[in-house]
A and B are shown apart, each in its own frame.
Chain A
Amino acid sequence: AQSVTQPDIHITVSEGASLELRCNYSYGATPYLFWYVQSPGQGLQLLLKYFSGDTLVQGIKGFEAEFKRSQSSFNLRKPSVHWSDAAEYFCAVGASTDKLIFGTGTRLQVFP
């Protein structure tokens, strides 16, 4: 069965520190992969996506993610976190039928 695992429920970092949010997926075919972010009181915003091609994907707000087929991972990274990055982050895989399968989310807290 298709699934997405985000092993970190809650992460706390200091402003200016680097960030890596982990995502592992289980999917039989070539996956479509996404990272969405939900800021407090807001809806889900697409950060970046991987469909094919270059395995290092650049997104908005300075985020990037790397698709590693051998590790079934699609980790999200940012070199220097800003206080406004505090939010909940969701990794998702696109299944063959178009529906998205989400992980449980990682809540990011940023300390000044």
Chain B
Amino acid sequence: EAGVTQFPSHSVIEKGQTVTLRCDPISGHDNLYWYRRVMGKEIKFLLHFVKESKQDESGMPNNRFLAERTGGTYSTLKVQPAELEDSGVYFCASSLRHKETQYFGPGTRLLVL
């Protein structure tokens, strides 16, 4: 069974540009989460989808970040326009049901110059 996959693995962009990150959860997992680790600090929650609905988006830093999960399968996280402080590793995770183990992808390393 394939795990959580993320694309791209790395992205280097200039300040002001747009970047879109993609996450494919484990097949059948209704719950999808985005997390971010900035500058070696703790990994922080961004948001949680249940199928295509946003269950909790309390961790989204500002309106430059837009997450979607059309059809309840894969999800995208778009940053527009990117700022220097957005650099970090963006992790996606999925779980089968509420409050079950979250399985993480390898992350996307974003560098904003």
Other A-B pairs beyond A34-B101, A98-B56, A100-B93, 17, CB < 8 Å: A36-B104, A42-B106, A43-B105, A44-B91, A44-B93, A44-B104, A97-B55, A98-B48, A98-B98, A98-B99, A99-B48, A99-B58, A100-B45, A100-B102, A103-B42, A104-B42, A105-B43
Q: Chain B 38-55, CB within 8 Å of chain A: the 1/0 string?
A: 000111110010000001
The binding surface of chain A is classed by DSSP as strand
B residues apposed to A, CB below 8 Å: 4, 31, 33, 35, 41-45, 48, 55-56, 58-59, 91, 93, 98-99, 101-107
| Chain A hits for B99, CB < 8 A | 32, 94, 98
Q: Which residue from A49, A97, A99, A102 sits with its C-beta under 8 Å from B42?
A: A102
- Nearest-neighbor residue (CB-CB) of A45 within chain B: B104
**Contact of A90 with B43 at beta-carbon distance under 8 Å, contacts A97-B48, A99-B59 already known:** yes
Of A32, A49, A104, which is within 8 A of B41 by CB?
A104
CB distance from A89 to the nearest CB of B (A): 12
B1 to chain A, nearest CB (A): 15
